[in-house]
Structure 1
Amino acid sequence: MHYQQHLSVGELIGILRKQEKNLHFCVYGAQDSSTITLQTLCVIEAFPRITDNDEEIYPDFVVRQGLEFWFSDELLEDVVMSALHHKPSVTDPELLEAIGYYAEHDCFMSFD
């Protein structure tokens, strides 16, 4: 993985599922994160910089492309690893649902 990398949400889930992450990143996209699918393209880029006044300064690439912040790598890893722990056979569509659930409810989705 590298910054400014474009990939589908499904490809990103595959990387997280295999625990192949090699840098800290945020996921950005061109649309609202509540409407994403496994085929939706996203961009891997650095975290925003925080100023002394607690202002978030997004990477130049994100600003130039008009992208929105979607998720941090830590949140995605936590959701994917929790889902795999509770349901080792979890599918990519279920993982996407779990990510959306966490984004909306700030808690993990149950796989019971």
Structure 2
Amino acid sequence: MRKHQELSLDQIIEQVRVDKLASDDFCLYGKEDGELALARLYRVSDYPDVVEDRDFYPADATDQDLQLVYYGEQLIDVLAVALEEKPDASLQDLVGALNYYQQHDSFMSFDSD
């Protein structure tokens, strides 16, 4: 995923879904670190640098006073598991899976109907 740009969550999900991203070398930053929303814009940037157990966010995130929202590795893993379990998952399903993972640190199970 190209870094140093702002994208809505639906654009990010579609890019991951269509491009089948292998590179997880990015993080999402946003104004809030709460639940993700499809229409909200997120900054795609670098992983924070860790120095003496402190995270130092990239300049493009700190300049805009953004918070770390999601690590690229986790985002891709959550979406891959959700799409493997439910290949026809809607964007809302995928946002639900991402939010579930953030809250519970485990993958959401899709009930088979």
Q: Say whether the fold is shared (TM-score over 0.5).
A: yes
> Which residue matches 2:65?
66
Q: Please, which runs of 5 or more residues in structure 1 have no aligned partner?
A: none
> Which residue matches 1:107?
106
- Aligned-pair CA distance for 1:54: 1.4
Say how many residue pairs are matched: 110
> Which residue matches 2:54?
55
CA distance in 1, matches of 2:23, 2:16: 10
> Which residue matches 1:32?
33
Pair 1:7 & 2:14 matched: no
CA RMSD of the aligned region, Å?
Answer: 1.4
Distance 1:107-1:22 versus aligned 2 partners, 3 A rule:
closer
CA distance in 2, matches of 1:108, 1:98: 7
- Aligned-pair CA distance for 1:55: 1.3
CA distance in 1, matches of 2:50, 2:23: 23
CA distance in 2, matches of 1:28, 1:57: 13
Residue 15 of structure 1 contacts residue 21 of structure 1 at CA under 8 Å; is this kept in 2?
no
- Aligned-pair CA distance for 1:85: 0.8
Identical aligned residues as a percent: 35
TM-score scaled by length of structure 1: 0.91
Q: Please, which runs of 5 or more residues in structure 2 have no aligned partner?
A: none
> Which residue matches 2:45?
45
Residue 27 of structure 1 contacts residue 71 of structure 1 at CA under 8 Å; is this kept in 2?
yes
